[in-house]
Structure 1
Amino acid sequence: MMRQGAATACMLLALAGCAAQTQEVQEAPSAFAGSTHLRPSSEEPGAWTYIAPNAQLSAYRRFILDPPRIFRGEGSGYGDLSEADIQQIAQMFVDETRAALGPTYPIVTQPGPDAARLRYTLIAVSRTVPYVSTATRVIPIGAAINLLKGGAGGAGTLTGSVTYGIEAFDSQGGQLVAAAVRELTPGAFDLGATLGTMETARAVAKDAAAKLRARLDSLQRAG
């Protein structure tokens, strides 16, 4: 019976996965230099993206990481999070990006022809209900519901999400070369991300950094 249960759990994990899911952002917030240019992404449903005309994104192999910003305008929302928690979540995106880029894409402090400046903006955080969220994934009916949600690209039950933006500027000229807005929620069976809002935010920041790294690798292969 225990082996059967373990096999079932492995099957659920294989089907649903642990990668964060992109949720639909109805309208791009006005927190960015390129906000008027943002359009729904054709590559990632629910996301908004902008790439400057004639931008040679593959030319950028080094990156300057700006301090993160906190968006307070219309469309923002942080519930009952403390100011310290909000700042910590914003910094997670910088820290996880630094770790994900690693030595392949050096983090630098000085402008250069192959350096882009990256700036994250935290836009909104919705709360994860701790323990209850975890329980919905391990009891049979909850696991079934979350499996369906995960397979459809949806969030798990009672798990929060994080909406963030990222902008890339040419480090020498200062012009915006790319921007994106995403709302991510952890995969339906990422149990660690269900333990609380901060754990959810960490999982999202890690996945956001992984998505950026994968995009850079794709650009280098294509370029």
Structure 2
Amino acid sequence: MLMLGSLALLAGCATEPTQYGDLASSARLQPNTTDADGHVPYRTEITAETFAPYSKIMLEPAQVYRGADNQFGNISEEDRTALANYARKRFTEELGEQGILAPATGPGVLKMRLTITGVEQSVPVVNTVTKVLPVGLVLSGVQAGLDRESNFSGSVIYAVEFFDSRTDKLVYAFVTRQYPSALNIPASIRPLDAAKAGIDRGASKAAESLKALLG
């Protein structure tokens, strides 16, 4: 009971994404009123026709957000860059697997820009203990079923912006916060493992959704 009490005292509020004023899409981002699970708190307007003119995605090099409203905390510059590179790698793999990755700009090609805007590190020892203890497993199981973040688990926040590759006109954008499943114990071993697992999850979901949306 003492440990559970200590864990409760350590629990804090998760980092909440913002509209990030230095993003190209910032002025058009609006709160997502249909975001039931909290994964996509902001997005621009989208209709059934938004992606219809496009069939392929060209992925730009992933960026690290430099605005004053970034949410990296004490994450080092080296780790920020490493996560951006990891995001590009994973999105390239997932888009390629779906057969929608384009090597260059052209007709029917969207330019996709990933910008890592924030990271919340997991607390490795505490996070693993909460999942291994019987009560922790029960709580994590409930959170996993509800697709909610586990206590002490880390997360990654990034913006995804789509531009017409020939005109550079903004087509669609969203800000997302991704984290691993509450039962994903390996994602809690090192401080940035959860952020990488969140990128894995986000890349897979985004590629699947884009495959369905593209004309």
Q: TM-score over 0.5 for the alignment?
A: yes
**2:83 aligned partner:** 89
The reply to whether residue 208 of structure 1 matches residue 202 of structure 2 is yes
**1:102 aligned partner:** 96
Q: Please, which runs of 5 or more residues in structure 2 have no aligned partner? A: 1-13
Shift in alpha-carbon separation, 1:194–1:188, aligned structure 2, 3 A:
same
**2:172 aligned partner:** 178
Tell me if the contact between 1:90 and 1:121 (Cα under 8 Å) persists in the aligned partners. Answer: yes
The reply to whether residue 199 of structure 1 matches residue 190 of structure 2 is no
Q: Distance in 1 between matches of 2:60 and 2:193?
A: 23
Aligned length: 198
Shift in alpha-carbon separation, 1:26–1:118, aligned structure 2, 3 A:
closer
TM-score by length of 2: 0.82
Partner residue of 2:150 out of 153, 156, 170? 156
Tell me if the contact between 1:55 and 1:177 (Cα under 8 Å) persists in the aligned partners. Answer: no
Percent identical pairs in the alignment equals 27
Q: Which has the higher contact order (CA 8 A, sep 6+)?
A: 1
Tell me if the contact between 2:94 and 2:203 (Cα under 8 Å) persists in the aligned partners. Answer: yes
Q: Distance in 1 between matches of 2:43 and 2:62?
A: 19
TM-score by length of 1: 0.79
Normalized per residue, the structure richer in helix is: 1
Between 1:160-169 and 1:210-219, the stretch displaced more is 210-219
The RMSD of aligned alpha carbons is: 2.2
Say which SS state the counterpart of residue 144 (structure 2) adopts.
helix
Say which SS state the counterpart of residue 181 (structure 1) adopts.
strand
Q: CA deviation at 1:132?
A: 2.5
The letter of the residue matching 1:30 is G
Between 1:78-87 and 1:44-53, the stretch displaced more is 44-53
